[in-house]
Protein backbone atom coordinates (compact mmCIF):
# COMPACT_ATOMS: atom_id res chain seq x y z
CA UNK A 1 0.00 0.00 0.00
CA UNK A 2 1.14 3.51 -0.70
CA UNK A 3 0.08 6.96 0.36
CA UNK A 4 -1.77 8.70 -2.43
CA UNK A 5 1.11 11.11 -3.11
CA UNK A 6 3.07 8.00 -4.12
CA UNK A 7 6.11 8.97 -2.01
CA UNK A 8 5.91 6.73 1.01
CA UNK A 9 6.00 2.99 0.72
CA UNK A 10 4.93 1.08 3.79
CA UNK A 11 6.63 -2.20 4.52
CA UNK A 12 4.47 -5.19 5.48
CA UNK A 13 5.97 -5.04 8.99
CA UNK A 14 4.32 -1.64 9.52
CA UNK A 15 1.05 -2.79 8.10
CA UNK A 16 -0.89 -3.16 11.34
CA UNK A 17 -0.02 0.31 12.55
CA UNK A 18 -0.64 1.97 9.20
CA UNK A 19 -3.88 0.21 8.22
CA UNK A 20 -5.55 1.77 11.26
CA UNK A 21 -4.85 5.17 9.74
CA UNK A 22 -5.89 4.07 6.27
CA UNK A 23 -8.94 6.25 5.91
CA UNK A 24 -7.47 9.47 7.26
CA UNK A 25 -4.20 9.16 5.29
CA UNK A 26 -5.93 7.98 2.07
CA UNK A 27 -3.97 4.81 1.41
CA UNK A 28 -3.94 3.62 -2.16
CA UNK A 29 -3.57 0.10 -3.44
CA UNK A 30 -2.05 0.17 -6.92
CA UNK A 31 -3.21 -2.41 -9.47
CA UNK A 32 -1.17 -2.45 -12.67
CA UNK A 33 -3.09 -3.88 -15.59
CA UNK A 34 -2.03 -5.31 -18.95
CA UNK A 35 -5.13 -5.98 -21.04
CA UNK A 36 -6.09 -5.84 -24.69
CA UNK A 37 -8.08 -2.75 -25.62
CA UNK A 38 -11.21 -4.93 -25.98
CA UNK A 39 -10.76 -6.35 -22.51
CA UNK A 40 -9.96 -2.96 -21.01
CA UNK A 41 -13.20 -1.58 -22.45
CA UNK A 42 -15.37 -4.46 -21.23
CA UNK A 43 -13.75 -4.94 -17.81
CA UNK A 44 -12.49 -1.57 -16.68
CA UNK A 45 -15.83 0.19 -16.82
CA UNK A 46 -16.28 3.61 -15.18
CA UNK A 47 -18.45 2.03 -12.44
CA UNK A 48 -15.56 -0.26 -11.49
CA UNK A 49 -12.93 2.48 -11.50
CA UNK A 50 -15.19 4.79 -9.53
CA UNK A 51 -15.98 2.28 -6.82
CA UNK A 52 -12.34 1.18 -6.72
CA UNK A 53 -11.16 4.75 -6.16
CA UNK A 54 -13.64 5.15 -3.30
CA UNK A 55 -12.20 2.03 -1.71
CA UNK A 56 -8.61 3.21 -2.17
CA UNK A 57 -7.74 1.15 -5.27
CA UNK A 58 -6.09 2.74 -8.26
CA UNK A 59 -5.83 1.02 -11.66
CA UNK A 60 -2.70 1.95 -13.62
CA UNK A 61 -2.07 0.86 -17.23
CA UNK A 62 1.17 -1.08 -17.74
CA UNK A 63 3.22 0.29 -20.64
CA UNK A 64 4.31 -2.74 -22.64
CA UNK A 65 7.10 -0.75 -24.28
CA UNK A 66 8.88 -0.15 -20.97
CA UNK A 67 10.48 -2.64 -18.56
CA UNK A 68 7.88 -3.81 -16.03
CA UNK A 69 10.24 -3.38 -13.08
CA UNK A 70 10.65 0.33 -13.94
CA UNK A 71 6.91 0.81 -13.53
CA UNK A 72 4.72 0.92 -10.47
CA UNK A 73 5.39 0.07 -7.70
CA UNK A 74 2.36 -2.20 -7.86
CA UNK A 75 0.58 -4.18 -5.17
CA UNK A 76 -1.12 -6.35 -7.78
CA UNK A 77 -0.60 -7.02 -11.47
CA UNK A 78 -3.72 -7.96 -13.38
CA UNK A 79 -3.24 -9.28 -16.89
CA UNK A 80 -4.72 -11.06 -19.88
CA UNK A 81 -2.32 -10.99 -22.79
CA UNK A 82 -1.02 -13.88 -24.84
CA UNK A 83 2.41 -14.82 -26.16
CA UNK A 84 5.63 -16.38 -24.94
CA UNK A 85 7.41 -13.08 -24.60
CA UNK A 86 4.79 -11.67 -22.23
CA UNK A 87 4.84 -14.85 -20.13
CA UNK A 88 8.60 -14.55 -19.76
CA UNK A 89 8.36 -10.89 -18.75
CA UNK A 90 5.84 -11.82 -16.06
CA UNK A 91 7.88 -14.77 -14.80
CA UNK A 92 10.99 -12.61 -14.47
CA UNK A 93 8.95 -9.95 -12.70
CA UNK A 94 7.48 -12.51 -10.25
CA UNK A 95 10.99 -13.72 -9.38
CA UNK A 96 12.24 -10.21 -8.83
CA UNK A 97 9.14 -8.94 -7.01
CA UNK A 98 7.72 -11.71 -4.82
CA UNK A 99 5.88 -9.02 -2.82
CA UNK A 100 3.62 -8.30 -5.83
CA UNK A 101 0.60 -10.53 -6.46
CA UNK A 102 0.44 -11.46 -10.14
CA UNK A 103 -3.10 -12.45 -11.15
CA UNK A 104 -2.64 -15.12 -12.21
CA UNK A 105 0.68 -17.01 -12.68
CA UNK A 106 1.46 -17.50 -16.40
CA UNK A 107 2.06 -21.26 -16.10
CA UNK A 108 -1.31 -21.83 -14.49
CA UNK A 109 -2.98 -19.84 -17.26
CA UNK A 110 -1.19 -21.88 -19.94
CA UNK A 111 -2.75 -25.00 -18.44
CA UNK A 112 -6.27 -23.77 -19.32
CA UNK A 113 -5.20 -22.67 -22.79
CA UNK A 114 -5.32 -26.28 -23.85
CA UNK A 115 -8.76 -27.87 -23.96
CA UNK A 116 -7.41 -31.24 -22.89
CA UNK A 117 -5.43 -30.12 -19.84
CA UNK A 118 -8.05 -27.53 -18.79
CA UNK A 119 -10.52 -30.28 -17.82
CA UNK A 120 -8.00 -32.71 -16.32
CA UNK A 121 -8.48 -31.30 -12.82
CA UNK A 122 -12.24 -31.85 -13.03
CA UNK A 123 -11.79 -35.41 -14.30
CA UNK A 124 -9.26 -36.24 -11.56
CA UNK A 125 -11.52 -34.74 -8.92
CA UNK A 126 -14.39 -37.07 -9.84
CA UNK A 127 -16.62 -35.00 -7.58
CA UNK A 128 -19.67 -36.64 -6.07
CA UNK A 129 -21.52 -35.21 -3.08
CA UNK A 130 -24.38 -37.05 -1.41
CA UNK A 131 -27.72 -35.32 -2.07
CA UNK A 132 -26.11 -32.71 -4.31
CA UNK A 133 -24.84 -34.51 -7.38
CA UNK A 134 -21.89 -35.52 -9.49
CA UNK A 135 -19.59 -33.43 -11.65
CA UNK A 136 -17.58 -34.92 -14.49
CA UNK A 137 -16.36 -34.10 -17.98
CA UNK A 138 -17.84 -35.50 -21.20
CA UNK A 139 -15.92 -38.38 -22.73
CA UNK A 140 -13.30 -36.88 -24.99
CA UNK A 141 -10.41 -37.65 -27.28
CA UNK A 142 -7.49 -35.59 -28.57
CA UNK A 143 -6.56 -35.76 -32.24
CA UNK A 144 -3.18 -34.22 -33.04
CA UNK A 145 -2.94 -34.93 -36.77
CA UNK A 146 -4.10 -37.12 -39.65
CA UNK A 147 -7.84 -36.47 -40.09
CA UNK A 148 -8.26 -39.76 -41.96
CA UNK A 149 -7.53 -41.66 -38.73
CA UNK A 150 -10.35 -39.96 -36.79
CA UNK A 151 -13.25 -42.37 -37.54
CA UNK A 152 -11.21 -45.36 -36.31
CA UNK A 153 -9.82 -43.48 -33.31
CA UNK A 154 -13.35 -42.49 -32.29
CA UNK A 155 -14.62 -46.07 -32.62
CA UNK A 156 -11.65 -47.39 -30.63
CA UNK A 157 -12.21 -44.87 -27.83
CA UNK A 158 -15.93 -45.77 -27.74
CA UNK A 159 -17.16 -42.20 -28.21
CA UNK A 160 -20.84 -41.76 -29.13
CA UNK A 161 -22.09 -39.40 -31.83
CA UNK A 162 -22.79 -36.55 -32.15
CA UNK A 163 -19.39 -35.11 -31.26
CA UNK A 164 -18.36 -31.53 -30.60
CA UNK A 165 -15.05 -30.71 -32.28
CA UNK A 166 -13.06 -27.98 -30.51
CA UNK A 167 -9.69 -26.51 -31.49
CA UNK A 168 -7.15 -27.91 -29.01
CA UNK A 169 -5.53 -24.59 -28.19
CA UNK A 170 -7.41 -21.57 -26.83
CA UNK A 171 -5.28 -18.53 -27.56
CA UNK A 172 -7.79 -15.69 -27.48
CA UNK A 173 -8.24 -15.81 -31.26
CA UNK A 174 -11.65 -16.10 -32.92
CA UNK A 175 -10.52 -19.36 -34.56
CA UNK A 176 -9.96 -21.01 -31.20
CA UNK A 177 -13.72 -20.62 -30.59
CA UNK A 178 -14.74 -22.10 -33.97
CA UNK A 179 -16.47 -25.28 -32.89
CA UNK A 180 -18.41 -27.78 -34.94
CA UNK A 181 -20.82 -30.63 -34.41
CA UNK A 182 -20.24 -33.89 -36.27
CA UNK A 183 -23.24 -36.16 -36.78
CA UNK A 184 -21.81 -39.16 -38.60
CA UNK A 185 -18.68 -41.23 -38.49
CA UNK A 186 -17.52 -40.78 -42.05
CA UNK A 187 -17.61 -36.99 -41.98
CA UNK A 188 -15.25 -36.95 -38.99
CA UNK A 189 -12.34 -37.08 -41.42
CA UNK A 190 -13.31 -33.62 -42.67
CA UNK A 191 -12.26 -32.11 -39.33
CA UNK A 192 -9.01 -30.23 -38.93
CA UNK A 193 -6.68 -31.32 -36.12
CA UNK A 194 -5.28 -30.52 -33.63
CA UNK A 195 -8.59 -30.78 -31.83
CA UNK A 196 -10.54 -32.24 -28.97
CA UNK A 197 -13.56 -34.39 -29.81
CA UNK A 198 -16.10 -34.37 -27.05
CA UNK A 199 -19.39 -36.24 -26.71
CA UNK A 200 -22.32 -33.88 -27.06
CA UNK A 201 -24.41 -33.98 -23.87
CA UNK A 202 -28.09 -33.02 -24.13
CA UNK A 203 -28.73 -30.34 -21.50
CA UNK A 204 -32.04 -28.70 -22.41
CA UNK A 205 -30.44 -25.68 -24.09
CA UNK A 206 -29.34 -23.98 -20.87
CA UNK A 207 -25.78 -23.49 -19.70
CA UNK A 208 -24.52 -22.35 -16.28
CA UNK A 209 -21.62 -19.94 -16.25
CA UNK A 210 -19.94 -20.19 -12.88
CA UNK A 211 -17.77 -17.11 -12.35
CA UNK A 212 -15.05 -17.33 -9.74
CA UNK A 213 -13.22 -14.34 -8.27
CA UNK A 214 -11.01 -15.63 -5.47
CA UNK A 215 -13.45 -17.14 -2.98
CA UNK A 216 -16.54 -15.53 -4.50
CA UNK A 217 -18.79 -17.57 -6.79
CA UNK A 218 -21.54 -16.16 -9.01
CA UNK A 219 -23.65 -18.23 -11.39
CA UNK A 220 -25.57 -16.96 -14.41
CA UNK A 221 -27.70 -18.86 -16.92
CA UNK A 222 -27.14 -18.60 -20.66
CA UNK A 223 -28.91 -20.10 -23.63
CA UNK A 224 -26.94 -22.90 -25.19
CA UNK A 225 -27.33 -25.44 -27.99
CA UNK A 226 -30.65 -27.30 -28.20
CA UNK A 227 -30.80 -31.03 -27.55
CA UNK A 228 -30.18 -33.47 -30.38
CA UNK A 229 -32.79 -36.22 -30.56
CA UNK A 230 -32.53 -39.76 -31.92
CA UNK A 231 -34.44 -38.80 -35.06
CA UNK A 232 -32.01 -35.97 -35.89
CA UNK A 233 -29.07 -38.21 -35.20
CA UNK A 234 -30.36 -40.80 -37.67
CA UNK A 235 -31.30 -38.33 -40.37
CA UNK A 236 -28.42 -35.81 -40.13
CA UNK A 237 -25.04 -36.27 -41.73
CA UNK A 238 -22.05 -33.97 -41.94
CA UNK A 239 -20.20 -31.42 -39.88
CA UNK A 240 -21.94 -28.21 -38.81
CA UNK A 241 -20.18 -25.09 -37.63
CA UNK A 242 -21.54 -23.97 -34.24
CA UNK A 243 -22.46 -20.38 -33.52
CA UNK A 244 -20.83 -18.86 -30.37
CA UNK A 245 -24.09 -19.29 -28.53
CA UNK A 246 -23.00 -18.97 -24.92
CA UNK A 247 -21.21 -15.72 -25.57
CA UNK A 248 -23.56 -14.12 -28.10
CA UNK A 249 -26.90 -15.21 -26.65
CA UNK A 250 -28.80 -13.01 -24.29
CA UNK A 251 -28.84 -14.07 -20.67
CA UNK A 252 -31.42 -16.76 -19.89
CA UNK A 253 -32.03 -15.29 -16.43
CA UNK A 254 -35.49 -13.89 -17.13
CA UNK A 255 -36.73 -16.55 -19.54
CA UNK A 256 -39.66 -18.76 -18.66
CA UNK A 257 -37.74 -22.02 -18.46
CA UNK A 258 -38.57 -25.52 -17.32
CA UNK A 259 -37.46 -25.47 -13.66
CA UNK A 260 -35.90 -28.93 -14.02
CA UNK A 261 -33.57 -27.50 -16.65
CA UNK A 262 -33.03 -24.03 -15.25
CA UNK A 263 -32.54 -24.80 -11.56
CA UNK A 264 -29.03 -23.71 -10.61
CA UNK A 265 -26.52 -26.37 -9.58
CA UNK A 266 -26.58 -26.82 -5.78
CA UNK A 267 -24.45 -24.30 -3.91
CA UNK A 268 -22.48 -26.88 -1.86
CA UNK A 269 -21.50 -28.66 -5.08
CA UNK A 270 -20.30 -25.43 -6.66
CA UNK A 271 -18.41 -24.40 -3.55
CA UNK A 272 -16.57 -27.67 -3.40
CA UNK A 273 -15.85 -27.64 -7.14
CA UNK A 274 -14.58 -24.05 -7.05
CA UNK A 275 -12.41 -24.68 -4.01
CA UNK A 276 -10.80 -27.75 -5.55
CA UNK A 277 -10.26 -26.10 -8.92
CA UNK A 278 -8.75 -22.98 -7.39
CA UNK A 279 -6.21 -25.23 -5.72
CA UNK A 280 -5.62 -27.65 -8.58
CA UNK A 281 -5.41 -24.98 -11.28
CA UNK A 282 -3.62 -22.39 -9.15
CA UNK A 283 -5.97 -19.71 -10.52
CA UNK A 284 -8.11 -17.13 -8.77
CA UNK A 285 -9.81 -15.60 -11.80
CA UNK A 286 -11.73 -18.00 -14.00
CA UNK A 287 -15.12 -19.28 -14.99
CA UNK A 288 -16.55 -22.73 -15.62
CA UNK A 289 -19.13 -23.62 -18.28
CA UNK A 290 -21.31 -26.27 -16.72
CA UNK A 291 -24.33 -28.20 -18.02
CA UNK A 292 -26.87 -30.54 -16.42
CA UNK A 293 -27.59 -33.71 -18.39
CA UNK A 294 -31.18 -33.38 -19.57
CA UNK A 295 -33.51 -35.74 -17.75
CA UNK A 296 -31.32 -35.88 -14.63
CA UNK A 297 -31.47 -33.76 -11.51
CA UNK A 298 -27.91 -34.04 -10.40
CA UNK A 299 -25.58 -35.12 -13.22
CA UNK A 300 -23.36 -32.19 -14.19
CA UNK A 301 -20.58 -31.80 -16.75
CA UNK A 302 -17.89 -29.14 -17.01
CA UNK A 303 -17.27 -28.43 -20.69
CA UNK A 304 -15.05 -25.34 -20.63
CA UNK A 305 -12.84 -23.31 -18.27
CA UNK A 306 -11.83 -19.74 -19.13
CA UNK A 307 -9.16 -17.59 -17.56
CA UNK A 308 -10.22 -14.03 -16.60
CA UNK A 309 -13.54 -14.21 -18.48
CA UNK A 310 -16.08 -11.46 -19.13
CA UNK A 311 -16.78 -10.53 -15.49
CA UNK A 312 -18.71 -7.43 -16.49
CA UNK A 313 -21.60 -9.75 -17.40
CA UNK A 314 -22.00 -10.61 -13.72
CA UNK A 315 -24.40 -8.28 -11.91
CA UNK A 316 -22.54 -6.12 -9.35
CA UNK A 317 -19.15 -7.36 -10.55
CA UNK A 318 -17.57 -4.09 -9.47
CA UNK A 319 -18.35 -4.88 -5.81
CA UNK A 320 -17.16 -8.47 -6.05
CA UNK A 321 -13.92 -7.50 -7.75
CA UNK A 322 -12.98 -4.60 -5.49
CA UNK A 323 -13.72 -6.68 -2.37
CA UNK A 324 -11.50 -9.40 -3.77
CA UNK A 325 -8.61 -7.01 -4.43
CA UNK A 326 -8.83 -5.53 -0.93
CA UNK A 327 -9.01 -9.02 0.58
CA UNK A 328 -5.83 -10.04 -1.24
CA UNK A 329 -3.78 -7.24 0.24
CA UNK A 330 -5.30 -7.64 3.71
CA UNK A 331 -4.53 -11.35 3.77
CA UNK A 332 -0.94 -10.59 2.76
CA UNK A 333 -0.57 -8.33 5.81
CA UNK A 334 -2.12 -10.93 8.08
CA UNK A 335 0.50 -13.44 6.98
CA UNK A 336 3.24 -10.90 7.65
CA UNK A 337 2.21 -10.40 11.28
O1 LIG B 1 -15.35 -10.94 -24.26
P2 LIG B 1 -16.28 -11.58 -23.29
O3 LIG B 1 -16.74 -10.65 -22.24
O4 LIG B 1 -17.39 -12.30 -23.98
O5 LIG B 1 -15.44 -12.70 -22.49
C6 LIG B 1 -15.03 -13.89 -23.13
C7 LIG B 1 -15.57 -15.09 -22.37
O8 LIG B 1 -16.96 -15.04 -22.33
P9 LIG B 1 -17.77 -15.41 -21.00
O10 LIG B 1 -17.46 -14.47 -19.91
O11 LIG B 1 -17.39 -16.81 -20.60
O12 LIG B 1 -19.17 -15.28 -21.49
C13 LIG B 1 -15.13 -16.34 -23.13
O14 LIG B 1 -15.74 -17.49 -22.57
P15 LIG B 1 -16.19 -18.71 -23.54
O16 LIG B 1 -14.92 -19.33 -24.02
O17 LIG B 1 -17.00 -18.09 -24.66
O18 LIG B 1 -17.01 -19.65 -22.70
C19 LIG B 1 -13.60 -16.43 -23.07
O20 LIG B 1 -13.16 -16.43 -21.74
C21 LIG B 1 -13.02 -15.22 -23.80
O22 LIG B 1 -11.64 -15.23 -23.68
P23 LIG B 1 -10.70 -15.93 -24.77
O24 LIG B 1 -11.20 -15.49 -26.13
O25 LIG B 1 -10.88 -17.41 -24.59
O26 LIG B 1 -9.33 -15.46 -24.43
C27 LIG B 1 -13.51 -13.92 -23.16
O28 LIG B 1 -13.04 -12.87 -24.00
P29 LIG B 1 -12.11 -11.66 -23.49
O30 LIG B 1 -13.06 -10.58 -23.06
O31 LIG B 1 -11.29 -12.13 -22.33
O32 LIG B 1 -11.30 -11.28 -24.67
N1 LIG C 1 -19.89 -31.51 -24.72
C2 LIG C 1 -20.83 -30.62 -25.00
N3 LIG C 1 -22.15 -30.96 -24.95
C4 LIG C 1 -23.10 -30.06 -25.26
N5 LIG C 1 -22.87 -28.79 -25.64
C6 LIG C 1 -21.57 -28.39 -25.71
C7 LIG C 1 -20.50 -29.28 -25.38
N8 LIG C 1 -19.35 -28.61 -25.55
C9 LIG C 1 -19.67 -27.37 -25.95
N10 LIG C 1 -21.00 -27.21 -26.04
C11 LIG C 1 -21.72 -25.98 -26.46
O12 LIG C 1 -20.83 -25.21 -27.25
C13 LIG C 1 -20.53 -23.97 -26.58
C14 LIG C 1 -19.07 -23.61 -26.76
O15 LIG C 1 -18.24 -24.64 -26.24
P16 LIG C 1 -17.06 -24.31 -25.22
O17 LIG C 1 -16.36 -25.60 -24.93
O18 LIG C 1 -17.61 -23.58 -24.07
O19 LIG C 1 -16.09 -23.42 -26.10
P20 LIG C 1 -15.68 -21.87 -26.02
O21 LIG C 1 -14.36 -21.86 -25.32
O22 LIG C 1 -15.51 -21.41 -27.42
O23 LIG C 1 -16.75 -21.17 -25.26
C24 LIG C 1 -20.91 -24.22 -25.12
O25 LIG C 1 -21.20 -23.02 -24.48
C26 LIG C 1 -22.12 -25.11 -25.29
O27 LIG C 1 -23.25 -24.34 -25.71
MG1 LIG D 1 -17.36 -21.64 -23.27
MG1 LIG E 1 -13.80 -21.03 -23.52
The per-residue pLDDT for range 111-128, each reduced to its tens digit, is 999 999 999 999 999 999
CA dist 307 → 32, 45, 77, 109, 281 (Å): 18, 19, 15, 7, 10
How large is the average pLDDT for residues 136-162?
Answer: 96
The per-residue pLDDT for range 263-292, each reduced to its tens digit, is 999 999 999 999 999 999 999 999 999 999
CA dist 308 → 12, 288, 332 (Å): 28, 11, 22
List phi, psi (to 5°) of 275: -60, -45
Could you tell me which residue, 21 or 205, shows the higher pLDDT? 205
Segments of the chain assigned to CATH 3.30.470.20: 115-307
Is the CB of residue 58 below 6 angstroms from any atom belonging to ligand 1? no
Question: Quick check: helix, strand or coil at residue 253?
Answer: coil
* Exposed/middle/buried for residue 322 (C-beta within 10 Å: 0-12, 13-18, 19+): buried
How large is the average pLDDT for residues 209-215?
Answer: 98
Q: Which residues are annotated as a binding site for 1D-myo-inositol 1,3,4-trisphosphate?
A: 39, 80, 177, 209, 306, 310
| C-alpha 257 to ligand 2 mean position (Å) | 20
Q: Which of 159, 179, 203, 252 gets mutated to test ligand 2 (max ligand atoms within 8 A of its CB)?
A: 179
Entry pTM:
0.92
Q: What is the pLDDT of residue 334?
A: 64
CB-CB neighbours of 96 under 10 Å:
11
Atom of ligand 1 nearest to the CA of 173: 24
Segments of the chain assigned to CATH 3.40.50.11370: 2-104+317-336
Architecture of domain 115-307: 2-Layer Sandwich (3.30)
pLDDT band at 257 (very low <50, low <70, confident <90, very high): confident
Selected from 2.60.40.3080, 1.10.3720.10, 3.40.50.720, 3.40.50.11370, the CATH number assigned to the domain covering 2-104+317-336 reads 3.40.50.11370
Strands 57-61 and 27-35: parallel
Q: What is the pLDDT of residue 266?
A: 98
ipTM reported for the complex surpasses 0.90: yes
Amino acid sequence: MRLSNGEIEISTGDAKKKTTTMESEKMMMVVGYALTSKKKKSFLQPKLELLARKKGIQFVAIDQNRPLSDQGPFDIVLHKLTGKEWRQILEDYRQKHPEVTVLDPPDAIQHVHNRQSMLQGVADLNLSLDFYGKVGVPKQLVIMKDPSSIPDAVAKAGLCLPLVAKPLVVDGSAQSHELSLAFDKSSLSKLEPPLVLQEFVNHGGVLFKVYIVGEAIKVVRRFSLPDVNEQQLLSCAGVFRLPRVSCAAASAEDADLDPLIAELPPRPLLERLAKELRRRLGLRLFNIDMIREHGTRDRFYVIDINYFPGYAKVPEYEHIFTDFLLGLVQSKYKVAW
